[in-house]
């Protein structure tokens, strides 16, 4: 059987760099890794998706969506990677910067609202992955179902799981999640070196990572990682935008507001200016604000350096942490590999070179190197390249909550994966028959400073005096970074476990449903998915309305009650209609919600009176 690029003849495996700003797909054969280009010869797919004005389906993905973002600011989604696996509170600083609407979803997750149609960031990322998948299928002239996808090394479990979910929605089996800096080392073929220590410095559009790698005889070992999931070229763009907005308000009035189209234009100006100043000493900025108001100024490279200096210093602080964790000094690093489009900026290369006292290695295109490395890993999995062994690490410590809100760390950060560790605990109350296990991730000592990944109960423990039961808790992290926690009471052999699918990701049923629907026609997918969301929301709203009516039914006048019943009945008909028009359904749901605002106010007032908090 002839082996094809990136996998067997029947199962090509592709490598994908799913980036905040741009994404790429690559394959690797016996001659080495190659980025797959589009029909116009461009390997880059901007991580941008435009939806139609109703939000019912996506109209464009990639360059076409990005190039017309100013025209459709509220319907064009970019930087979805920054929202994946995140809670709404964690991205609140992003919202004012984004021209599209970000709202709170289930479990306070960040969701994207396009004309009333709610999308998860995973769904948006899935459209980008589908575009890359289609590009690869055109290249191979056969279906592509498997992929290696890269993530920032500092992504936590929720963000990694969200990346897996996006892949599944796109119709891809994610056979491996690989840290982006590690992928870069694979792309550079650094495994041919002997006893080398490499620092991989990755500054992209939305994230920064640094990894310290030990390379020896074809073995990759990650000694340590550090970084920031909210630090990259987008932050430089934002700083330039804030400067422009501040100066415009100073010139034309503090009360001046900026509509979404203007905010999108600011972002485009800022990005173009940053790129221009990487080569030139100055760049012109001109913004027409209407009513004969024009903002114009010349931005000098020295000013950009002043803007960027704090951000670049943050990356150096992360480098120091990574070296400290690896018990190394800058002089111990043999080579510095630069990855990510933002490393083209002269200031970045200068500061990094000074810190490590070495000329940064920029032999490969920093935009494509991660995708190339992902394809090398795909080739290793496919059996094409068996000379390299990839060892990765736990990015943040994992543990459980103990008495008093402390965290007992069971697997510490930078432990090589796959990893297994166990510790024994006991009860604190006489006769305790149930133990709640709360799993946390983080480096702090108290649960309030760490992130809750999941919880489960170990039940059926025979009543015993406190301290007598022996509960063994085992943490196991597989090669894909999925955490399984098992608790066993050794005297009774009662056992319980959980596979952590973080509550900031999608549920397994949601992912399975989306994956199944993705194989059908795109328009049908969008329509059915929207109807499902509308039905779920409608059922929740009707249930809440029913509770409110039970609470304050005697305060609701007959004519208002009849109006509510009519609106609820209309929505119920849409719920039961399997062929419902989603736009009409959405309008009926909106009408019902508006009608019941007064009912909700009455219910709140009743609660306050019952609790003695109101007159």
Catalytic residues: 17, 81, 180, 202
Give the pair of three-digit tokens for residue 574: 């849409």
Cα dist from 374 to 381, 398, 466, whole Å = 11, 26, 51
Give the span between the Cα atoms of 96 and 101, in whole angstroms. 9
Neighbours of 117 (CB within 10 A): 21
Distance, C-alpha 222 to centroid of its chain: 22
Tally helices (H) and strands (E) across the chain. Answer: 15, 28
Torsion-angle region of residue 163: left (phi > 0), alpha (psi -120 to 50) or beta? alpha
DSSP letters for 86-128: -BTGGGHHHHTT-SSEEEE-GGGBEEEEETTEEE-HHHHHHHH
Looking at the DSSP bridge assignments, the partners of residue 227 are 209
Neighbours of 332 (CB within 10 A): 13
Coil, helix or strand for 340?
A: coil
Give the pair of three-digit tokens for residue 252: 């034309």
Radius of gyration, alpha carbons of the chain: 27
Give the span between the Cα atoms of 508 and 486, in whole angstroms. 19
Cα dist from 597 to 202, 435, 533, whole Å = 49, 42, 21
Residue 605 CB-half CA count within 13 A = 9
- Please report where in the chains the tokens 């039905």 appear, as a residue: 535
- Please report where in the chains the tokens 């090669």 appear, as a residue: 479
Give the span between the Cα atoms of 341 and 202, in whole angstroms. 9
Give the span between the Cα atoms of 317 and 257, in whole angstroms. 36
Cα dist from 562 to 298, 551, 566, 592, 597, whole Å = 64, 17, 6, 12, 15
Q: Do 22 and 383 touch, CB atoms closer than 8 A?
A: no
User: For every residue of 150-195, which 3-state class applies, written as one string?
Assistant: EECCCCCHHHHHHHHHHHHHCCCEEEEEEEHHHHHHHHCCHHHCCC
- Start-to-end CA distance of the chain, whole Å, equals 82
Torsion-angle region of residue 70: left (phi > 0), alpha (psi -120 to 50) or beta? alpha
Give the span between the Cα atoms of 233 and 62, in whole angstroms. 18
């Amino acid at each position: 059987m002839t082996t094809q690029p990136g996998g067997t003849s029947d199962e090509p495996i592709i490598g994908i760099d799913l980036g905040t700003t741009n994404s790429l797909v690559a394959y690797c054969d016996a001659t080495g890794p190659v980025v797959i280009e589009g029909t116009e010869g461009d390997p880059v797919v901007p991580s941008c998706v435009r939806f139609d004005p109703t939000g019912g389906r996506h109209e464009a993905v990639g360059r076409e969506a990005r190039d017309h973002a100013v025209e459709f600011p509220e319907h064009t989604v970019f930087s979805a990677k920054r929202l994946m696996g995140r809670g709404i509170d964690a991205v609140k600083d992003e919202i004012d910067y984004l021209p599209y609407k970000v709202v709170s979803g289930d479990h306070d997750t960040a969701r994207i609202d396009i004309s009333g149609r709610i999308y998860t960031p995973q769904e948006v990322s899935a459209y980008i992955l589908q575009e890359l998948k289609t590009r690869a299928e055109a290249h191979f002239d056969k279906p592509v179902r498997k992929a290696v996808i890269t993530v920032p090394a500092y992504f936590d479990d929720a963000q990694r799981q969200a990346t897996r979910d996006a892949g599944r929605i796109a119709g891809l089996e994610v056979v491996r999640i690989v840290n982006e800096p590690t992928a870069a080392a694979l792309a550079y073929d650094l495994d041919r070196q002997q006893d080398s220590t490499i620092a991989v410095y990755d500054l992209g559009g939305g994230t920064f990572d640094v990894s310290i790698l030990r390379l020896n005889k074809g073995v990759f070992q990650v000694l340590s990682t550090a970084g920031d999931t909210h630090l990259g070229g987008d932050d430089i763009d934002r700083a330039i935008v804030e400067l422009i907005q501040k100066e415009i308000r100073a010139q034309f009035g503090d009360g001046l507001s900026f509509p979404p189209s203007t905010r999108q234009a600011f972002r485009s100006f800022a990005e173009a200016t940053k790129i221009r100043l990487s080569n030139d000493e100055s760049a012109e900025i001109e913004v027409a604000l209407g009513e004969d108001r024009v903002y114009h100024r010349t931005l000098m490279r020295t000013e950009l350096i002043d803007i960027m200096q704090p951000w670049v210093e943050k990356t150096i602080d992360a480098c120091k942490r990574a070296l400290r964790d690896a018990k190394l000094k800058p002089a111990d690093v043999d080579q510095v590999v630069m990855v990510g489009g933002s490393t083209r900026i002269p200031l970045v290369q200068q500061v990094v070179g000074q810190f490590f006292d070495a000329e940064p290695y920029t032999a490969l295109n920093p935009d494509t190197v991660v995708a190339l490395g992902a394809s090398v890993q795909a080739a290793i999995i496919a059996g094409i390249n068996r000379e390299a062994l990839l060892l990765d690490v736990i990015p943040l410590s994992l543990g459980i909550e103990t008495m008093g809100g402390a965290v007992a760390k069971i697997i510490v950060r930078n432990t090589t994966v796959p990893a297994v560790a166990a510790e024994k605990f006991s009860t604190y109350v006489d006769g305790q028959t149930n133990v709640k296990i709360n799993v946390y991730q983080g480096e702090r000592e108290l649960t309030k400073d760490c992130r809750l990944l999941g919880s489960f109960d170990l039940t059926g423990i025979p009543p015993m005096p406190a301290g007598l039961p022996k509960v063994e808790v085992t943490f196991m992290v597989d090669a894909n970074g999925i955490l399984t926690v098992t608790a066993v009471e050794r005297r009774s052999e009662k056992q319980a476990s959980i596979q952590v699918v973080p509550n900031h990701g999608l549920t397994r049923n949601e992912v399975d449903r989306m994956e199944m629907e993705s194989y059908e026609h795109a328009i049908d997918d969008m329509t059915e998915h929207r109807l499902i969301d509308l039905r779920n929301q409608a059922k929740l709203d009707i249930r809440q309305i029913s509770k409110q009516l039970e609470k304050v039914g005697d305060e609701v006048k007959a004519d208002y009650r009849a109006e509510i019943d009519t609106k609820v009945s209309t929505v119920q008909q849409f719920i039961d209609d399997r062929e419902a028009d989603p736009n009409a359904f959405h309008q009926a749901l909106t009408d019902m919600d508006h009608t019941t605002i007064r009912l909700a106010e009455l219910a709140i007032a009743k609660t306050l009176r019952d609790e003695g908090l109101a007159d």
